[in-house]
Amino acid sequence: MADYLGIVPSFTDSSFAGGSSFEIYVARAVEALRSGQCSTVVISFASNQRSAKSRSLGGVVEHHTPEAQFETPYGPLFPLSYYAMAAQRYLHEVPHGRAALSEVAISAREWALLNPVAFRYGTKSLTPADIEGADLISSPLTTADCCLVTDGGGAIVLTTKLVDKKRGVKIIGYGEATTNTSMTSVDDLMVTGAVESGKRAFAMAGITPQDIDVVEVYDSFTITVLLTLEALGFAPRGGAADLLLSGKTRPGGSFPLNTSGGGLSYCHPGQYGILLLVEAVRQLRGECGERQVPHARHALAHGTGGIISTHATVILEKVS
């Protein structure tokens, strides 16, 4: 991108942490801005993974990774089977867990139907039967529990120059955590590193989960959302199921969640984290049209990468 724009950046970071990469980049950008390394940072991503032609089979753990000797012999699909393990545990502990997984997808679709650029815009609302009756792909997850595969991209600009106060949004908190490189080393499938990244972000921001008006969390799979909401403190262990089934996360509800339609119904170009940030900023600016959350002042964006292993939380606040 620097070459295309004809610039020589004073600060560059292209490190990779999967779906949490772009929330991590926000922290790096803020640190670079504060230290004077630069005055304006662009964080961007784009992918044509849906339209690109590839001979790659993918879907398996690389044979050279340390965990391969323990996990690959069982033939897990990467990362699907690992999230399915967590989902299976959730269903074991939470009696209405399957219904809650379905509601994650149903809620996302309702938001996407209000988003003219969503991949699923112009389709129809979903029912539990649509989700649970879809093809089983890795028990208990069906194809409808899995994110889209689309082209897409996004970018955000961070700067020390307040160009337009009316549209200004500032970063008030961020945190990150990396917990595991394999499921073999996970002690509790119901607990993720979002517990730590969330604590750090809220402590820096000086606010609590109750102060957040808009929540944008990675939804690679429906289970990702439930585990993340609980880890961030929006619900107790197993309590995200009740939150989802209350209907509060749908349009017009008191807990606006993944208001673009998320990776499940808006788009998922490979690393969806950049679009969580884009939607959070747009909501705080009041630019979301029919899906706009009224009087939004604080928004949270949380990226999840790997096999529920890398986590980064960003809290944003409207300036004016």
Q: What is the pLDDT of residue 64?
A: 62
- The answer on pLDDT for 30 being more than 80 is yes
φ, ψ of residue 221 to 5 degrees: the values are -140, 160
Q: 73-82, 138-147, 242-251, 311-320: lowest mean pLDDT where?
A: 73-82
Average pLDDT, the chain: 93
Count of CA atoms in the C-beta half-sphere (13 A) of 140: 17
Q: What is the pLDDT of residue 166?
A: 82
Spatial CA neighbour of 245 closest among 33, 98, 57 = 98
- The answer on pLDDT for 225 being more than 90 is yes
Burial degree of 64 (CB within 10 A; 0-12, 13-18, 19+): exposed
**pTM for this prediction:** 0.93
Q: What is the pLDDT of residue 309?
A: 92
Q: What is the pLDDT of residue 221?
A: 98
pLDDT in tens, 86-110: 999 999 999 999 999 999 999 999 9
- The answer on pLDDT for 169 being more than 70 is yes
Q: What is the pLDDT of residue 68?
A: 73
Q: What is the pLDDT of residue 127?
A: 98
Q: What is the pLDDT of residue 45?
A: 84
Structure tokens belonging to residue 70: 């323990």
Domains located in the chain, CATH noted: 13-51+78-318 (3.40.47.10)
Q: What is the pLDDT of residue 126?
A: 98
pLDDT in tens, 202-215: 999 999 999 999 99
